[in-house]
Structure 1
């Protein structure tokens, strides 16, 4: 096993949290936001849910951390979180749209 294998990847160390006030999921490395996925609440609330659906409108990764799988981890976390909250997701962002196409079976229930 090489040094890189033992150390893991930046995506392994990424901590993703949901900032409901800012309407986004944030990915942090060493406490600094390096990736994010913004959304816009859509539709009327249903039952206990604050919103019926969200439009995921933007993903971004700090240029020094591009191509390390960080956007994928943020979007995966966001989609799983939306599912747990009972939200439907409109993949308005190009990256999110491509991601759900690549993982159609996994995320069909939230679209």
Structure 2
């Protein structure tokens, strides 16, 4: 069974199968958002839902903290695109119109 935890000292969510690191989702945290910058799954665990478990746990954690998600990582961005019910969590920079 895959267990996902937030390893804040390493700035990443980690997925473990027992004592084995199956994958991680690295992030940068600010006072407003969590930017997911890279997701990696050990090849031995590919196709077993590890990446999705990391994305779900990470996004749910961000939501629980009242922050936004900035998906720099293509995997997290793709996962969010497949979960439109979470679109309200995505960080969007406010653009300014200048004369």
Task: Give TM class, smaller chain.
Answer: 0.7 to 0.9
**Where is the helix percentage greater, Structure 1 or Structure 2?**
1
- Partner of residue 18, structure 1: 6
Question: Could you tell me how far 1:109 is from its partner in structure 2?
Answer: 2.3
1:63 to 43, 66, 78: 43
- Partner of residue 18, structure 2: 30
- Secondary structure, aligned partner of 2:47: coil
- Partner of residue 97, structure 2: none
Give the TM-score of the pair, scaled to structure 2: 0.86
Q: State the alpha-carbon separation in 1 of the partners of residues 34 and 18 from structure 2.
A: 29
Equivalent residues in 2 for 1:71-82 (5 A)? 71-82=51-62
Give the 4+ runs in structure 1 shifted more than 6 A: none
**How many correspondences in the alignment?**
90
Give the TM-score of the pair, scaled to structure 1: 0.77
